[in-house]
C-alpha cells in the first residue's frame, strides 16, 4: 500500500472509531445509563476484547499485512477506545466529590478491559 493511501486509511479508521464511540455514548445516555460514563466503559471493554482477538485473528486466519493490521488495531480501535476520556471523566468525578463512584469506574474499566483483552486472545486461539 502506498504511503498516502495508508495514511488516508489510518485517518479514516481513526475517525470511524471516534464516531462509533460517540454514538455508543449517546446510546447509553438515551437509554438512561447515566450513573457512570458507560459509553466509554463499554467502548474500552469491547475494544479490549477486539484488540486481543484481532491481534491474532488478522494475522493467523486472515493473513493481513502489517499496514492493514495497523489501520484496524491502532486506527479504528485506537479511536474507539480511549484513556484520555476515561481520565477526564474520572477526574471530574473526583472534583465533584464522587470519589467512590470514580474508584468504581477506574476498577471496572481497568479490570474488565484487561479481562476482555485476555478473553479476545483466548477466543482467537481456540478458533485457530
Number of domains in the chain: 1
The percent of residues in the chain predicted with pLDDT above 90, rounded, is 92
Q: What is the pLDDT of residue 65?
A: 93
Q: So what's the pLDDT on residue 83?
A: 86
**Structural domain boundaries, residue 36:** 3-127
How many residues are given for the chain?
128
pLDDT band at 25 (very low <50, low <70, confident <90, very high): very high
pLDDT at res. 21: 96
Summarised one tens digit per residue, pLDDT across range 78-121 is 999 988 889 989 999 999 999 999 999 999 999 999 999 999 99
How far is the first Cα of the chain from the last one, in angstroms, to the nearest whole number? 27
Helix axes 83-95, 99-127, angle to 10 degrees: 160
Q: What is the model's pLDDT at position 5?
A: 96
pLDDT in tens, 28-61: 999 999 999 999 999 999 999 999 999 999 988 8
C-alpha cell at 79: 479511536
Q: What is the pTM of this model?
A: 0.84
For all residues of the chain together, what is the average pLDDT?
95
| Nearest-angstrom CA–CA distance, 48 and 58 | 15
Q: Which long-range contacts (CB under 8 A, 24 or more apart) does 118-121 make?
A: 118/52, 119/49, 119/52, 120/48, 120/49, 120/50, 120/51, 120/52, 120/53, 120/54, 120/55, 121/52, 121/53, 121/55, 121/56
Judge whether residue 1 has pLDDT over 90. no
The pLDDT of residue 84 is: 82
Residue 123 reports pLDDT greater than 90: yes
Residue 113 near residue 125 (C-beta atoms within 8 A): no
Amino acid at each position: 500500500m502506498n504511503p498516502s493511501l495508508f495514511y488516508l486509511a489510518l485517518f479514516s479508521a481513526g475517525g470511524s472509531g471516534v464516531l462509533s464511540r460517540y454514538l455508543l455514548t449517546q446510546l447509553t445516555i438515551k437509554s438512561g445509563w447515566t450513573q457512570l460514563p458507560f459509553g466509554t466503559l463499554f467502548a474500552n471493554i469491547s475494544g479490549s476484547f477486539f484488540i486481543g482477538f484481532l491481534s491474532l485473528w488478522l494475522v493467523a486466519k486472515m493473513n493481513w499485512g502489517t499496514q492493514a493490521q495497523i489501520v484496524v488495531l491502532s486506527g479504528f480501535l485506537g479511536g474507539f477506545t480511549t484513556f484520555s476520556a476515561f481520565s477526564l471523566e474520572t477526574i471530574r468525578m473526583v472534583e465533584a466529590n464522587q470519589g467512590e463512584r470514580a474508584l468504581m469506574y477506574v476498577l471496572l474499566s481497568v479490570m474488565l478491559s484487561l479481562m476482555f483483552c485476555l478473553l479476545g486472545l483466548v477466543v482467537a486461539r481456540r478458533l485457530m
